[in-house]
Amino acid sequence: MSKGKFALGALVGAVAGVFAGILAAPKSGDKTRAELKAKVNDIKGDVTDKADKVTARASEIAAEAKVVAEKAAKEVKKEANDLKSRTERAIDGAKKGFNNKK
């Protein structure tokens, strides 16, 4: 099982446990609803913060990947141009050698 799935399962389990504990507690409906609302707001804030961090990190990784891809593309283009130049020189040399034998 991947770490992400495990973490998501743990988070869902924790949330379910909190709500089950609140609902099972001997309190009035108003107090229980207020407590549930407070817990939901806390969890919402935590999830929003973590989502923002993940989004920021994903943007960083995408930017890094773009830089690496651009560098690789430049290197491939350079190698292709070098290969083309060597091939053209080899063809010219072969033509000269063929023409000199005539």
Q: Which residue has the higher pLDDT, 74 or 42?
A: 74
Mean pLDDT of the chain: 84
Do 32 and 25 contact (CB within 8 A), yes or no?
yes
Answer yes or no: is pLDDT of 100 > 80. Answer: no
Q: Which residue has the higher pLDDT, 97 or 70?
A: 70
Answer yes or no: is pLDDT of 102 > 70. Answer: no
List Cβ neighbours of 36 (8 Å cut-off, separation of 6 or more).
19, 22, 23
* pLDDT tens, residue by residue, 19-61: 777 667 676 778 877 887 888 888 888 888 888 999 999 999 9
Q: What is the pLDDT of residue 12?
A: 79
Task: Using alpha carbons, select from 13, 99, 8 the residue that is nearest to residue 51.
Answer: 8
Task: Using alpha carbons, select from 8, 35, 6 the residue that is nearest to residue 21.
Answer: 35
Q: What is the pLDDT of residue 1?
A: 54
